Amino acid sequence: MEIYQLEAFIAVSETGNLTRAAQMMNISQSALSSQIKALERELGVGLFIRQPRGMQLSRVGEKMISEARAVVQASLQMKQKAMDLHTRISGSLNIGINTDPKFLQVSDISKRMTEQMPGVSLSYIESRTFETSQMLRQEKIDVGFHYGRIQEDSIFSLTLSMVDICVVIPIGMAKHMEHERIETIATLPWVWTRHGCPFHLEFQNRLRGKNLKLNPVTEAVEENIVKELVKSGTGLALMRKDEALELVREGAAIIWNGFEMKILLGIACLEKRQSEKIISGFLNALKEKYKIS
């Protein structure tokens, strides 16, 4: 028993005529006849009385038609629900943020979204770049900020801007280091991260070109911790330039002149889910903010 058979059942019961019902459903009379016959056979009851005039509901058929309608009705509701989940603009959106909320200007994003899609409630969830694609797939987040490119086919990503990255040297190690060659810099103690932070991946790529290896001393995952460790003179570190300049202003560190890097800031979502109204609305809001076509 399948839904298409029940739809056939209903259509024939309404027209009382196999030919016209078949036209309505854009199939042949023959096919429709088979569908009805198969349904009757499976249920073990005669649904129609075949008369020269056409098909008339049997008494059993009259009792079954409401049940059939209930099934088809429920299936239509299910389809409708699926449509709603696509197109509705009320609901929630989990946003993965990979860095300082202040830097991402989260409050500005919230403001734009509450203007454009008032029904949507936003949640911000911490998501390191290397976790982003996994969290998207697991639907722990619906969209996620990230550094660098994401190569996976199943994930769509929009480039928002380029971020300057630089090397900071704690003030205690800074004497004459500002213009030092990289070979020396590499041997100094570094504050590092274990896992695929894009800053470090990219930096390592550049070092590998010169056959150099860093000397990591301390590991830290969170940016604020890195910042504190630099302040305390533990070691050199990679850092967004705006953060580095803060440290410079505080007199806690200097920026090494021998290195410059730009890394892209992007927003990602599942390829499949690009078309969902809430997600596409969010992406559009970011496009406006970052002035992307």
Partner DNA sequence: TAGCGTTACGTAGGCCGTAACAATC
Partner DNA sequence: GATTGTTACGGCCTACGTAACGCTA
Binding footprint of DNA on the chain (CB under 7 A): 4, 17-20, 26-31, 33-38, 50, 52-55
Q: Is the distance from CB of 167 to CB of 256 less than 8 angstroms?
A: yes
Query: Nearer Cβ to DNA, position 29 or 110?
Result: 29
Determine phi and psi for 127, rounding to 5 degrees. Answer: -150, 100
**Choices 58-66, 213-221, 228-236, 237-245 (CB under 8 A): range interacting with a second copy:** 58-66
60 forms part of the interface with a second copy (CB under 8 A): yes
Four-CA torsion 177, 179, 180, 185, nearest 10 degrees = 70
Options 13-21, 66-74, 196-204, 258-266: segment touching a second copy (CB under 8 A): 66-74
| Partner whose footprint covers residue 62, from DNA, a second copy, none (CB < 5 to 8 Å by kind) | none
Binding mask 3-22 for a second copy (x = CB under 8 A): xx-x----------------
Partner from a second copy, DNA, none binding residue 82, C-beta < 5-8 Å depending on class: a second copy
Residues 266-285, interacting with a second copy (CB under 8 A): 270, 272-273, 275
CB of 268 to DNA, least distance (A): 15
Should residue 59 be labelled a site residue for a second copy when binding is judged by CB under 8 A? yes
Cα torsion angle, 152, 95, 194, 266, sign:
positive
114 versus 134: smaller Cβ distance to DNA: 134
Is 239 a binding residue for a second copy by CB under 8 A? The answer is: no
Nearer to a second copy, 78 or 162 (CB): 78
* Shortest CB 119 distance to a second copy, Å: 16
The reply on whether position 138 binds a second copy by CB under 8 A is yes
In the list a second copy, DNA, none, the entry touching 38 (Cβ below 5 to 8 angstroms by class) is: DNA
> Of 149 and 213, which has the nearer Cβ to DNA?
149
Q: Per CB under 8 A, which of residues 36..55 are in contact with a second copy?
A: 43-46, 49-51
Q: What secondary structure does DSSP assign to the chain, as a single string?
A: --HHHHHHHHHHHHHS-HHHHHHHHTS-HHHHHHHHHHHHHHHTS--EEEETTEEEE-HHHHHHHHHHHHHHHHHHHHHHHHHHHHH---EEEEEEE-S-HHHHTHHHHHHHHHHH-TTEEEEEEE--HHHHHHHHHTTS-SEEEEES----TTEEEEEEEEEEEEEEEEGGG-TTTTT--HHHHHHS-EEE-SS--HHHHHHHHHHHHTT----EEEE--SHHHHHHHHHTTS-BEEEEHHHHHHHHHHTSEEE-TT--EEEEEEEEEEGGGGGSHHHHHHHHHHHHHTT--
Residues 204 and 214 sit within 8 Å (Cβ to Cβ): yes
Could you tell me the smallest distance in angstroms from the CB atom of residue 201 to a second copy?
24
Gap between the Cα atoms of 266 and 143, Å rounded: 10
Rule CB under 8 A: say whether 177 interacts with a second copy. no
Smallest distance from the beta carbon of 49 to a second copy, in angstroms? 6
Positions touching a second copy (CB under 8 A) are 1-4, 6, 43-46, 49-51, 58-60, 63-64, 67-68, 70-71, 73-75, 77-79, 81-83, 85-86, 137-139, 270, 272-273, 275
